[in-house]
Structure 1
Amino acid sequence: MTSSPLDEVMYPSDSSTDSKQAKKSYLRLPTFYNEQGTTRPFYLFPLFLLINIITMADRAIIPGASQEFLAFLGGASDSPAVVKNNPDAGLGILQAAFMIGYTLAIIFSGHYVHKIKWKPLVFFGLCVWWLGVLGSGNAKQYNSFYVLLFSRMATGCSEAAFQVVAPPLIQDRAGKRAGFWLSIFLMGLPLGLSVGYIYGSHMATSELWGWDWAYYWMCIGSFPLLVVFAFVRDVTNGGVLSGEVVDVELEGDGSVTAVVIDGERDEVDEDDERERSTSLTTATTLEPLLPPLDNNSNSAVDATSKHHHNNSSAADKKDKFTILSEVKTCLNSKILVTLSLGQAAIFGVVTALGTFGGAFILALQLFDDEKVAATWFGITAALAGVIGTPLGGSLVDKILARYGAGDNDNDGGASSSGLRGEGIDDSLRHPIIASILPRMNALVAAAMLFIFPTLAMQDAAFFLFFLFVGWTLLFATQTGISICAMLSVKNAHRPNALAFISIAGHLLGDVPLPIILGLIKDHLAPGCKVGEDGSFSKPEECASQEKGVRATLAIAYVWVLWALVFFELARRLSRIEIGKRRSDEINSLLLQEEDSNGASANGEKNNSSFRYYHSKFQPTPQQSGRSLA
């Protein structure tokens, strides 16, 4: 029976043979740090989840109390004319400020994560985020639109580092359950947004507090998380996010003498070699098609030497990480670009509905009270995220298991070297993408079949139920899309891929769509504009302009269909890459076979590469067992 990937960190082994001591050891919580001094995933992953929830809740305070914030924007002493005349567009500008700050910061975060330790980078960002939340509450005291605007931008800037660090760390250290734990982390997005939506609505309409205290209490509640995070330590790879093994030199006995990590050569001395021997021997070499090393034959060693000689100049010329080279790497990945465009369609609509969801529900006359509408709207989104995201993660794990993901982990996904902790060979990146994306497209298509009928529904219960099912299916796609984004580039560029897909999602989705849909709603249903008192400017006209509100929702729903187009395009691109790789492998094998035949004619032992190539496709013990059954 196989153990779960986090068994080692959850239940440390006890060498004692006494059953009572073994039972006590099993029930005892693990220490905060492992033997190397690194914070265990048992504590690190839940901490990531809590931070993700509270930062997402901060995002949703404004959408949850949209009417109160619209009233504030219209009456603030320094609000520009465009905000006073178009309150919904002003709310979109406020949300866009957050996304602009987030987008600018995530570029630099994705760059510096290669150069400095991730823990101080993330901790500094969280401290700035805390100050930005405090400033958001102070904006009401100063009655200033610009204080609120720049405070929201600051929270976006500081949140960026955390979002590019956490997913690769989880992928590296969660072993065979990487998809599940990544989905748990991503679950913080819908859960946090929903909690923040309800929280912001209740605080803003409270006679005792107000929306400024929604931010103040968030500062108080998040402070303990910052204190705990200050004690997080990571000595893996020197505290820098693990990169990619780009060169491996082998002695005749197969020992590793040098590796190149993140573009810089790291000579391994004898002590380091002994410490890393366990994890490095499982790392995948750069030439998977070469025959295994044979002590009685130098053919494999010669082939390996030729391979490294041919690639040494490329390794020497490999640029150190620069912002320009990182952007170029992402743009050169056609799969990543198309994934980003599809994700942007989903991001934009979800954010727009979150921003104007309460106003839409009130305008559709499904509820009469904003607090009740926000509560049920938030509960629906929260349940959809809590249920859908882990289901999507489990689906991804089943796909990854078919390719042996996590099999190379020696310590439950927390490899001390952190070189190839995700256990996915480079040659399998595109096959995995091609397997995941059809499932994601099927989920999106099924989601739209449930969401579109809400356009004609007049009953709140049916409206929320169909919306819940549709959102559950949409949230189930997030883990798969994140995994595909990280697999679309080399291992060392995973943070850059996450930054790229996030930037595209915000610039093409989160930033423009709330503003555009806000303007469309104000044009199609002008009576449903929110006045300075927090109510509709013309309630009687708003009731008669319900069709305009539903037309706005229809435009938002149709926009999601772009995701189907771009995800299918990404799948086809991955199939093209698979074909190219197979062609290169066949050509390489033919050349090696010719060399092998020549060596055989000269009396040398023929160690055929074809035998090694076909040995890669022998059935695994699990597959053999299923066949016999």
Structure 2
Amino acid sequence: MLGPSSATTSLVTLQSTRDAALHFNLLSLPHEAPYLNMTWTLHTPWHFFALLNAITMLQFLLAGVIPAAPNEFQVFIQQSLHVSSTDSAFYFGVLETALLAIYCLATLVVGHLSQTVRPFSLILAGLVLWVVSAAASGVARPAGSFYLLLLGRMGTGVAEATFRVLALPLIDRFTPPSMRSLWMGMYYAGISLASGVAYVFGAHTARTLGWDWSFYLCAMAMLPFLVVTYACIPSTCDVNRPLQVEKSKTESRSTRDLAVVLTSPVFLLSVAGISAINFTLQAMLTFAPSMLIGLDVFSDEWSAMAFGGLVMVAGIVGPPLGGALLDRATSFDASDSTRCVAACYQRLFFVAGSTLAGAVSLALLLAHVSPIVFLVAGFGFFGGMFATFGSTSTSLLLSVPPHLRGLAMGVGLLLQNALGNVPGPIVLGALKSWLAPGCGSDVVDGRDRVSLACGNAANTHGLYVLWGIMVLWMAWALVAWPLAYVAAKRVAKQDESMLDHMTLLETSYIQVGVETH
């Protein structure tokens, strides 16, 4: 039998091992580079976060190049395919649809591969594909080939999926426990900043150097990060999860793993809520600038700039704020179950505040108040939406076992696109044509402008109704997320009961050892 000292030592050792598994410390690992014998490797959490964030921002910068220069790309389509200006709009849409479709399919495949293939090995392959695809997209212009551009866009879609599925699980793994949510919020803020800069970068480059140089410059800018990923990642960090588990546990079948993800109530309800928010957000990003012109809030010249600036600032402020608050709420206990419950709880306040601010923005539109006052309400509306992104990503990651988190992110991204990002603009576009049929575009002095007929009473009323529908759609999140919170609390109680049982078992061993001694 164990004596009191040896039993206590065993208990402390067991607890230390458990703590090590919960709080993976990157700094405690050796830092040999796996591919080249280089003297410098990534050896702090900040290094990894900076690498992942920089790659993400470059990818979003490139993704916004085509929407930022629609006229230049439509002229290219007309010349390369020999189609009319009317038909070129269809092929312009094909470029974006193909990117999104291949991205959705690739997220599921990458999520499955993430269980068996080392994460940075997958990222490296994706970066190589991304650089080649970006360069091919640029070459399409001098080659006069629309299909080369299309192929390049599809390649970047696969590459983006390879990175997007893995980035958040890696950030959650490498970040210090007390700052996980804040860093995740900073990750989303970087996305918002890059998306805003993309419009300026893409439009300016297309007018000065030619749109092909947007692709060349992005490809060249990615090369240093590709080299770092290839040569400077410690071999002990390029593993499928924080601490390796038994091989027999990691090689479960795809259908079984997928079933685990899709039967998690917290996962499904979290996806349902964030899909509703993405539905509204993408619809707003697509139609709000023209709607604000039709409602006489902003002029043609200022509407897109004012609205784009509003969204960018809200996207930069909202996610870090939400992350900092979540870290503070879990400072006493950074265990996975506690963080999941706190994330599900916190986002309820943000989505409720965002919905309220959206309703206020509609009231302000009806009251014809100053545009500045409207922008303040709009900041609350979009800031609240963006603040839910980090907490929702946290709940998605922590709703499944660690070895399934890559798959969970892949499935989650697929469902968010299928239920939110893709149908949002389509459904609201159809409703806009029905509710405000006079709010199309006319060519005036060689420029596209909102039709003058949009200002009549019937069309204006339709725009008000449309704005209300976009705000009201977020109510689905107000339904799904309270249920997710209840489910997360139930899981946490089960985990607590299991921990209490283990503690009781360990205590009994100590007591037996004491009595024997």
Q: 2: distance between equivalents of 1:568 and 1:90?
A: 42
2:266 is aligned, of 299, 317, 335, to 335
| 1:537–1:194 Cα change, 3 Å | closer
Distance 1:138 1:57, change over 3 A: same
**Hey, what's the Cα distance between the residues in 1 that align with 2:439 and 2:150?**
24
Q: Which residue of 2 aligns with 1:174?
A: 175
- Aligned counterparts, 1:298-337, within 5 A: 318=249, 320-337=251-268
Which digits, 9 at most, give the CA deviation of each residue in 1:124-152, with x for residues without a partner? 21232233334444556677665554433
2:132 equivalent to 1:128: no
1:235–1:588 distance in 2 versus 1, CA, 3 Å: closer
User: Which residue does 1:298 correspond to in 2?
Assistant: none
Q: Which amino acid aligns with 2:453?
A: E
Between the aligned partners of 1:549 and 1:72, the Cα distance in structure 2 is: 31
Q: Is the 8 A contact 2:74 2:88 kept in 1?
A: no
Q: For residue 80 of structure 1, report the CA deviation from its aligned partner.
A: 9.7
The Cα of 1:367 is off from its aligned counterpart by 3.5
Where does residue 219 of structure 2 map in the other structure? Answer: 219
Higher radius of gyration, 1 or 2 = 1
Partner of 2:20: none
Asked if the contact 1:98–1:156 (Cα under 8 Å) also holds between the matched residues in 2, the reply is yes
For structure 2, which runs of at least 5 residues remain unmatched after alignment? 1-22, 28-35
Whole-Å separation in 1 of the counterparts to 2:139 and 2:122: 26
Indicate how the Cα distance of structure 1 residues 192 and 547 shifts in structure 2: closer, same or farther if over 3 A, else same.
farther
Q: Is the 8 A contact 2:128 2:226 kept in 1?
A: yes
Q: Which residue, out of 466, 476, 481, partners 2:387?
A: 476
Identity level (%): 27
Structure 1's 466 and 136: CA in aligned 2 closer, same or farther, altered over 3 A?
A: farther
Match of 1:462, SS?
helix
Give distance in 1, aligned partners of 2:478 and 2:116.
Answer: 37
SS in structure 2 opposite 1:115? coil
- Secondary structure of 1:477's aligned partner: helix
Q: State whether residues 290 and 450 of structure 2, in contact with CA within 8 Å, keep that contact through their aligned partners in structure 1.
A: no
Letter paired with 1:187 = A
How far apart, in 1, do the equivalents of 2:384 and 2:329 lie? 18
Aligned residues between the structures: 478
Distance 1:435 1:133 in 2: 40
Cα distance in 2 for partners of 1:322, 1:8 equals 30
Any idea what the Cα deviations from partners look like across 1:217-239, whole Å, max 9, x if unmatched?
Answer: 433444444344443312115x2
Task: State the TM-score, normalized to the length of structure 2.
Answer: 0.79
1:562 aligns with 2:476: yes
1:184 to 170, 186, 195: 186
TM-score by length of 1: 0.66
Q: CA RMSD in A?
A: 4.0
Instruction: Select the residue among 366, 386, 391 that pairs with 2:297.
Output: 366
2: CA distance, partners of 1:203 / 1:463: 32
The 5 Å alignment of 1:525-564 reads 525-530=436-441, 535-536=447-448, 539-544=451-456, 545-564=459-478
User: 1:121, CA displacement in angstroms?
Assistant: 1.4
1: CA distance, partners of 2:427 / 2:131: 30
String of CA shifts for 1:4-31, please: whole Å, max 9, x gaps.
Answer: x99997xxxxxxxxxxxxxxxxxxxxxx
1:393 maps onto 2:323 in alignment? yes
SS of residue in 1 equivalent to 2:474: helix
Change (3 A) 1:8 1:501: closer
Partner of 1:421: none
Confirm or deny: 8 A CA contact 2:114 2:407 kept in the other structure: no
**Distance across 2 between alignment mates of 1:135 and 1:543:** 44
Shift of 1:489: 0.9
Equivalent residue number for residue 52 of structure 1 = 56
Other structure's SS at 2:331 match: helix
Counting only pairs closer than 5 Å after superposition, residues 427-506 of structure 1 correspond to structure 2 as 429=337, 431-455=338-362, 456-457=364-365, 458=368, 459-506=370-417
> Could you list the runs of 5+ residues in structure 1 that have no partner in the other structure?
10-31, 245-260, 265-315, 406-423, 608-629
Listed one character per residue, the Cα deviations across residues 572-615 of structure 1 (whole Å, up to 9, x for unaligned) are: 1122334445666778899x69x979x99xx99669xxxxxxxx
- CA shift at 1:159, angstroms? 0.8
Aligned to 1:280: none
What secondary structure is seen at the aligned counterpart in 1 of 2:308? helix
1:347–1:505 Cα contact (<8 Å) kept: yes
Alignment of 1:74-113 (within 5 A): 75=78, 78=81, 84=86, 94-113=95-114
Deviations for 1:94-121, whole angstroms, at most 9, x for unmatched residues? Answer: 4443222122112222222232222231
Q: Secondary structure at the match of 1:236?
A: coil
Q: Counterpart of 2:341 in structure 1: which amino acid?
A: A
For the Cα contact (< 8 Å) 2:133–2:156, is it kept in 1? yes
Tell me which protein shows more helix as a share of its residues.
2
Contact 2:250 2:403 in 1 (8 A): no
Aligned 8 A contact 1:528 1:536 in 2: no
Q: Which residue of 2 aligns with 1:199?
A: 201
Q: Distance in 2 between matches of 1:131 and 1:529?
A: 39
Aligned to 1:242: 241
State the Cα distance separating 1:571 from its structure 2 match. Answer: 0.7
